[in-house]
Each structure stands twice: as structure tokens, then as C-alpha cells.
Structure 1
């Protein structure tokens, strides 16, 4: 009988057999030390500093570069290291549950009631979504589109990506798909059916809404948004057994044609100046459910502006009209939801339309706008991340990246 990693006949894995392979793959010493530090603080009755949790997720993100396309191994090796810190001998569902549900380091919320995940939970849930994003890329490659990884898996990986427990919904896998025009939706429908964990019923619902979109709402100013339930049937997930935690989460696709992307990026103007672009622009979004949030935007100083989000119920969903950008009476620039999707710079999954240069140009214009405002208010602290509605869940590496752009601005 051939056992993997020293598994016994009941499928339990020996940590002592896994650790050498983990060591050959990457240097886990910092992850190990920072986890042990968190345990000692918790055991002493102290509160884990946010900086320590940030350092731990940062160390895991650096390790992850050694596990490209091997997310299941990353999750397994991480559990072996965490388990070994606490003198566990075997990996089984009991150990997985212990670390997945581990709230010793604080069950606090980070923003909008969003629960902070446990260290192992953040690792596992990030691994699952990175793997599924790769599967989406494989399914849609060749459709004449471009795909960008946005949302928490782009700016909060191994840090604030959470599962479905304690009454809070799991983090979505958010992707932006750019198409030449809406006729490409048929190809996307065909391709996406190959994504593991996606049922035929989910694909059929998507297909029905794409037809309604093309018939009624495709005007060059409207985004098509759709959420799929992933892993909602009995398909097993090798990274997270159903016996450990609920595996279902949502894949959130935002599909836009090139004209819509150009509208969001303000491609017709070389600079983001009021005299060139006016004080406000909106786009429409055709989505399945009514938005519960306000149209909330922030400027580079962190000042908030919120207004009611217009929503009309239509066949197959709702139409909302969020701002692309807003300039107030002080000439302060507030990037809207769709612009903040594109900074921090999203991960490019595939690019058959060559949009990378367009995204880079938008990044340049945003930095130039921050520099313009800084010259007018030299004593005010202005930062890129202050203008992002999700800045409280950014991973440390993302904060560093944006701060480097602040300094270059």
C-alpha cells in the first residue's frame, strides 16, 4: 500500500513526514516564529498587536511565491508548520478545524462588520481562490478577452480572505473581465462552464441574464455584474474538506466592454482635471440584487462623501448608477468604486486585448492627480490608499506598494 506523506490507513498524515518537503520548498522559519509569538501572547492573556498579524500574513505571502500553481501544497505545508509549533503529530480533520476556527488572536472586525479570519483560515481561503482564479483563466483564455483579479484576493491575500463561518459570509473571488463588445458573452458562457465547482444551473442563470443585458441594457455605459455560487454541490474541494468547514463561496464577475472601460478610466482626457472632465461621471451596473450600500467615495486625504445609490428593479436584476469619480467644491478628487478596482494595480490573469498599457496609463493619471493636489495643499497628508473604500483590509505589501507611489508622487 502506497501512503502519501506517511499517511496511516485512516488517511491521517504524519507531520514529521511533511515538514522536510515543506523545508525543501521554502523557508518557513519566519512564519513559524511569528505564529509561535502570537501563541505566547495569547497564552499570557495579552492582545495580539495588529502589526504582528500583519507581519505573519506578509511572511506567508512571501512564502507563497515558492508555491505557484501548488496551492494545495501551500495549505498543507502551512498546517504542518502551525501544527508542529503546538507539538501535534498528525494532520487530520480535528487539527484542520482547530486551526481554521482559531480565534485566540482576536475575533475583531476590520470594517463594515467584516470578521477578521484566523491565520490558517486566511491561508486556506486565499489558496482556494487563487486556484479557482487560475481555473477561470484557463476556461476563458482564447475568448478574446482580458481578465483582472480584483477585490480581497488581490489586495488582502493571506490577510483578510475569510471563509463562511460564525454567521459571516465568505469573501468573494472578484474578477473583472474586459471584452471587445457584448457579443463575446456567448463565448464567456461556454468557457465558464468548465470551471470546477460551478453547477450547470449557475451557468444557465448567467446565460439568461446575458441575453437580457444584450437586449435591454448594452449601451456602452453599463457594466454587467453576476455572482456565481461556487462549490455549492457535493463536489469535494481538495484544499478544504466539507467535514472541516462550509466550502461554498461566490465568484463575482464584472464584465465590461472596451467603451465602458474607457469611460471608467476617463481615457479621453490626458489629465484628471476639472476643466477637462467636469465634476462628476457615472456608469450603470446591471446586477442581480439591490445594492444595500451607499455610493461611498473618499478623496486622497481620507475625507468621505456618501450619497444614496439610485437603484431601479428591472428584469433579471437591478440597475444602479454609481459614480466613476466626483470633484467637490474644494476641487478634491474622489475616485469611484470602479476606479478603485484598478488601484492598487490588479493582478492580470490573462490579457488578449492588451489592456495592461491602458491600466498603467490610468495608474499614472491617478498619481499625477495626487501630485497636483499635493502642490496645492503641501501641508496635508495625501495618500493613494486613503482614497480606497477597502483600505482597512489591505495586506501589508499592498500598503507598501501604494506608499512607494505616494513618495514618487
Structure 2
């Protein structure tokens, strides 16, 4: 592809210039002991800015990035061979964050992170289009690494033994009556694993019974659905790269979601614990960490009971034991980016999500006043804050300082 065509679509100068610097460091005869995180983080930030010019053209973004990076590195040959080389870039193998044996989490190479981000945003948009075509009213809240690690920490699967980053999606529906139509809509996404979608549909009927048997009880409906498991992703054609990852869907009615984002309280008080139930397909964990603004974990025990086609898990929305706010796992899907991908009528989440954010920031202000000697940040209360993209961490924490 001609570089002038790429330049006509978007301004790639900052991406190309920074990648040139990174590539020169990596190709130096002595090689760096470590590549400064600031470089990978700055590249992720700049990729995100260019990506804005490719709305609904995610694959074209990936193709243009291949052209840019191939030019910088002087790569020749067909597109699949250049794709493979950049995706697996051997120059990163000596660097600790990029090693598979890294006990924390392997950081993907820059081209890998960009391609896998593109694929997930593309697939998320496909899901959105299918539900809209089926006239299913939904709102989509995106969580996980596709928000806080976009173009930085979204990893693929070099082989089936190493799972790829999944999509964490919270779907809000006006009422449980929308769920059967949602199940039908998912059947129209050929990339989703058919058996898992059928299980999803069967479990939706069980979910309806669970709610009927326990009126007034707040119950989420969750399941992981593999995508690209038995269907080839043409975007990766000829590359030999394993395409599969999971779409983790968490469905909540608007009433339940409103409770989760604290619409029913004016402020976050001390000594409060709010719990809900989650109907999950897989066996839930029995112990998990709840983390405060100081970044220190407190361990919480949880209970689950087997039911037809899954388990009902009792889990906290949040608690304020020991005068510290600790968001639960599902609030962690909304934080720290509070990213609403879409919201259809009659669902409108922009104001409620903003209200939720301000309540958390006011609570952070209160806790800083009580313990002025501590370092407390919004990012620190998220269980994955250590793998946030640097610019995301700066943005989240600068906003909370200015609040």
C-alpha cells in the first residue's frame, strides 16, 4: 500500500516518529535492558488519537498501521508475513514485561496490542449493530483492558494455551422481557460460538425462573461466549495467529444497574455493604480482593450455589468497612473509564454515570481529608491498576485531583 494513501486517511506522523524511536532502541547493537514504559504508553495514546479517524473502519486502521510500521522497519514481502513478524516482534523477548513467564501479565507487543484492540472494537460494533437491527433496547458499558489498556495491554493468544484478553461488556436492558430477543440477536453473529449462544439462550429461561422464584431479589445474568472459535477471522488470514477470545457478557436490568451505580443514595456512607446475586455459567471464585483508594487489598469471602446450567453467586456491589470505600467486581467494570459505548431509548445513562463518578470522587475527597498523609487515587482502587495504560492512569488520577 502506498504511504501517501495512508497519509490521506489520517495524520500518522506522531505514531511513525515514536515507533521509529522505539525501533531504533530495540535494534541497537547492545539493545536496551528495558524499554521505558513511557514509550509504549505514549504510542498507545497516539494510536488512540489516530484511531478516531477510522470510525467503523477498524480493519483499515490495522492495514494502515501495518504499512507505517513496515516502512519504519524496512520490511518487505507479502502482508501476512510482515503482519506475523510485527505481531511476534522478537526484539521484545528480552524485555521483562513482554515475557510469557512474567508472573504479573505479559504485555503484548505494540502491533499485537493495536491489532487485538481493533478486532475487539470491530466485534463490539458488530454486536451493537445486530441488537439495533433486532430492535432490542440496550445500553453497552465497556470495561476491562479494552478500556484501560487500549492499544497497550490488549493481548492476543499466541497459541490456544495462552488465553487472549476478553471483552468485558455490561449490557443494560429496560426489562428482562428484552432478553429473549437479545438471545435471538446473538444467533445472528456467526463469529460467536454456536453452542455457547444456545447455552446462553437456555440459561435465559432459567434466569427468568430464578427471578420469578425470588421476587424483589437483584440478580445479574453473566456468561462468557467464545468468539472466533470455530470460524476464521478474515482479518488474520494467512497469518497463522490464533483468533479466539471470549466475550464476557453481564446483563442487568436498568433498575438493578441503577442500584449498582448508587442512584438510590445521595452519598457513600460508612459501614455499608451492598450485595447482589449473579447467575453465572462457570463456578465463581470463592475469595476475591476488595481494594480501597490506598491500593491495599482486603479479602472477601463469597458464596455460591449450584442451579440449573450454572451457579448463583452472592457478591458485593461495594462496601465501606473500616471507613474505606471498596468497589465490587461489577462496579470495577464501569470504573475507571465509565465508558458508555451506546445507550438506546428509553435507556439514557450519560447523566446517571456522571452522577456515579461524582459520588465516588466526593467519597475520595472525604477519605483524603481523613488521612491526609496517605497517597490515595481513584486508579488505586481498581484491581488491575498496575496494568493501566500510563496515559489512562494519568487521566484518571489527574481528574480526581482536580475534583
The reply to whether TM is greater than 0.5 is yes
Give the equivalent residue in structure 2 for 1:337.
329
RMSD over aligned Cα, in angstroms? Answer: 2.0
Question: Unaligned stretches of 5+ in structure 1?
Answer: 1-16
| Residue 86 (str. 1) matches residue 79 (str. 2) | no
TM-score scaled by length of structure 1: 0.89
- What SS does the corresponding residue of 1:31 show, helix, strand or coil? helix
Contact 2:54 2:60 in 1 (8 A): yes
- What SS does the corresponding residue of 1:341 show, helix, strand or coil? helix
2 CA distance for matches of 1:347 and 1:196?
Answer: 26
Contact 1:286 1:320 in 2 (8 A): yes
- What SS does the corresponding residue of 1:45 show, helix, strand or coil? coil
Q: Structure 1 residues 320, 239: closer, same or farther in 2, change over 3 A?
A: same
| Residue 222 (str. 1) matches residue 223 (str. 2) | no
Give the equivalent residue in structure 1 for 2:376.
382
Give the equivalent residue in structure 2 for 1:149.
142
1:297 equivalent among 281, 290, 301: 290
1 CA distance for matches of 2:252 and 2:38?
Answer: 38
Give the equivalent residue in structure 1 for 2:338.
346
- What SS does the corresponding residue of 1:256 show, helix, strand or coil? strand
1 CA distance for matches of 2:44 and 2:264?
Answer: 40
Give the equivalent residue in structure 2 for 1:159.
152
Contact 2:136 2:181 in 1 (8 A): yes
Contact 1:198 1:229 in 2 (8 A): yes
Q: Which structure 2 residues correspond to residues 5-404 of structure 1 after superposition, within 5 A?
A: 17-43=1-27, 44-46=30-32, 47-105=34-92, 106=95, 107-108=98-99, 113-141=104-132, 142-165=135-158, 167-217=161-211, 219=214, 220-234=217-231, 236-241=232-237, 243-274=239-270, 278-292=271-285, 294-329=287-322, 331-352=323-344, 353-404=347-398
Question: Unaligned stretches of 5+ in structure 2?
Answer: none
Q: Structure 1 residues 174, 308: closer, same or farther in 2, change over 3 A?
A: same
1 CA distance for matches of 2:49 and 2:273?
Answer: 40
- What SS does the corresponding residue of 1:283 show, helix, strand or coil? strand
Contact 2:81 2:239 in 1 (8 A): no
Shift of 1:196: 4.1
Shift of 1:197: 0.8
TM-score scaled by length of structure 2: 0.91
Q: Deviations over 1:45-95 (max 9, x none)?
A: 212111111111111111111111111111011111111112123443221
